[in-house]
Structure 1
Amino acid sequence: MRWTLADLTFLRTALELLYNTQGQIRMSALAADCGLSLRQFERRFQQRIGVSPKVFARLLRFEALLTSLIQEPASSLADVASHLGYQDQAHIIHEFKTWAGCAPTAFLARAKQRAMRGHLIPDPRPACVPLYIV
């Protein structure tokens, strides 16, 4: 499949809006901003990106949720849920099980353990590489 300038313009607009809103945008508004009908927008997005725009938006919103929980672990799930447009705590738990395969508390416990252990694979590059100029 060849990419045209129209494809790149459409995708740039769609992806910028999705990232800027952390996935919290109506698909009809997104399609209108891209100058396409909803059906045409969904079809072209799916063809070019490989997932539907709704799934992509859910992933972005989940990524924002992870960032919020990791950066501010003292925040309650209810506060984070309302800020990111989730309906309630049960909705967050469902999203966690869908995307992370576990509940938020289990995920955060593993994230904390991983942070305490450091990198799983040490950096093979030397700390300081001398430069020799001949």
Structure 2
Amino acid sequence: MGVDEYAQARPSAGLRPFVGFYTGYRQAGLAPARHRGLPSPYLTLIFTIDDPLDVAAHPDPRQPAGRYDALIGGLHLAPAVITHPGRQSGVQVALRPLGCRALFGLPAAELAGADLDAADVLGALPVDEIRDRLRSAPDWPSRFAVVDEALLRRLRDDPPGALPEIAYACRRLLAGPPVPVAAVATEVGWSPRYLTDRFRAEVGLRPKEAARVARFDRARRALGPATRLADLAAEHGFADQSHLVREFRAFAGCAPTTWLADERELAVSLRKVVRFCPSPRPPPGARIEP
């Protein structure tokens, strides 16, 4: 009998400014599959539990395929292609762009469009320790607590932050509803060009690109088999259904209906999940050095 598990949790309170949520997955005994890793307003941090992550194609086509025990991926505008032979398991962290500086000491722009071995950023020993503890943990809340504790230990008492104007622009542009970049520039007292330059230097995408990705991500998460595309487009600020389809082709490489058909098994699995477990509480006495 196959195993098909998904679970999600929010981080503990100290990490919420920097991390959106955790997703745990474990599959075994299923048919081999390919999965699109789509652009989103979050950087991706994955710790595998058993088999490495096979990335057949990266958002940057110049980057060769690779296998990763743990991976950090920056913001991107094209899908990655991930394959598995019928089994995969891990914990994925949805990292807010400004959390990259707080947790890793570098702006998200330095990771934009790239997938890196997480050991190159976190160190090989911490990654190995996290994966060992994930394998030993008895359930998803315990696994989320392992990752939560490891990230908390990377935070300094006063983590370095981006300029307040950039932090404000991120909140306005990524949280929705859609807002013109010029309006945000006026709100922070900068010119649109200066905002674009500073935003890109911190986040790795231009403000308009980041806002498009965030809108696409919200629409993609709301898409289901019974969804009318015209309604979805109207609800998420697209000009019309054709606009929505064009954005899907740009960011996913296919039409919404094609993506839904290809990802139907994943979508069904996610709908079985209680969307959020309780926020993790790191076990007392446990320690992972950064």
Smaller-chain TM-score bracket? 0.7 to 0.9
TM normalised by structure 2 equals 0.36
1:32 alignment partner in structure 2? 186
CA contact (8 A) 2:233 2:241 kept: yes
2-structure distance, mates of 1:115, 1:61: 19
Matched, 1:17 2:172: yes
- Structure 1 position 64 matched with structure 2 position 218: yes
CA–CA distance in structure 2, aligned partners of residues 17 and 38 of structure 1: 14
Q: Which moved more, 1:49-58 or 1:82-91?
A: 82-91
Shift of 1:8: 2.6
Letter paired with 1:86: F
Q: Which runs of structure 2 are paired with 1:1-134 in the superposition (5 Å)?
A: 7-22=162-177, 24-70=178-224, 73-116=225-268
**Cα distance in 2, alignment partners of residues 40 and 96 from structure 1:** 29
Q: Any idea what the Cα deviations from partners look like across 1:71-105, whole Å, max 9, x if unmatched?
A: xx422000111111211211111111110011111
SS in 2 for 1:63: helix
Q: 1:110 to 1:54 in 2, by over 3 A?
A: same
In the alignment, which residue of structure 1 is the partner of 2:61? none
- SS of residue matched to 2:227: coil
Question: How big is each residue's C-alpha offset from its partner over 1:98-117, in whole Å with a ceiling of 9 and x where there is no partner?
Answer: 10011111101122123457
Residues 166 and 198, structure 2, Cα contact 8 Å, conserved in 1: no
1-structure distance, mates of 2:269, 2:236: 30
Structure number with greater CO (CA < 8 Å, separation at least 6) is 2
How many residue pairs match? The answer is 114
Amino acid at match of 1:34: V
Q: Verify the 8 A CA contact 2:175 2:214 in the aligned structure 1.
A: no
- CA deviation string 1:36-62 (max 9, x = no partner): 111111111111111111110100000
TM-score normalized with structure 1 length: 0.74
Query: How far apart, CA to CA, are the structure 2 residues paired with 1:60 and 1:116?
Result: 23
Q: In terms of mean alpha carbon deviation, does 47-56 or 108-117 score higher?
A: 108-117
Instruction: Assess if the C-alpha contact under 8 Å between 2:181 and 2:207 holds in 1.
Output: yes
Distance 1:101 1:43, change over 3 A: same
SS in 1 for 2:237: coil
Find the aligned partners of 2:269 and 2:180 in 1 and give their Cα distance: 40
C-alpha deviation, 1:33, in angstroms: 1.7
Change (3 A) 1:115 1:68: closer
Greater fraction of residues in strand: 2
- Cα distance change on mapping 1:33 and 1:6 into 2, 3 Å: farther
CA distance in structure 1 between the aligned counterparts of 2:166 and 2:215, rounded to whole angstroms: 18
- Shift in CA distance, 55/49, structure 1 to aligned 2, threshold 3 Å: same
Distance 2:263 2:166 in 1: 33
- The answer for unaligned runs of 5 or more in structure 2 is 1-105, 108-159, 271-290
Task: State the AA in 2 paired with 1:84.
Answer: H
Instruction: Structure 1 unaligned segments of length 5 or more: list them.
Output: 119-134
Aligned AA (1:81): A
| Structure of greater Rg | 1
| Cα distance change, pair 20–115 in 1 and its aligned pair in 2 (3 A) | closer
Q: Is the 8 A contact 2:181 2:192 kept in 1?
A: yes
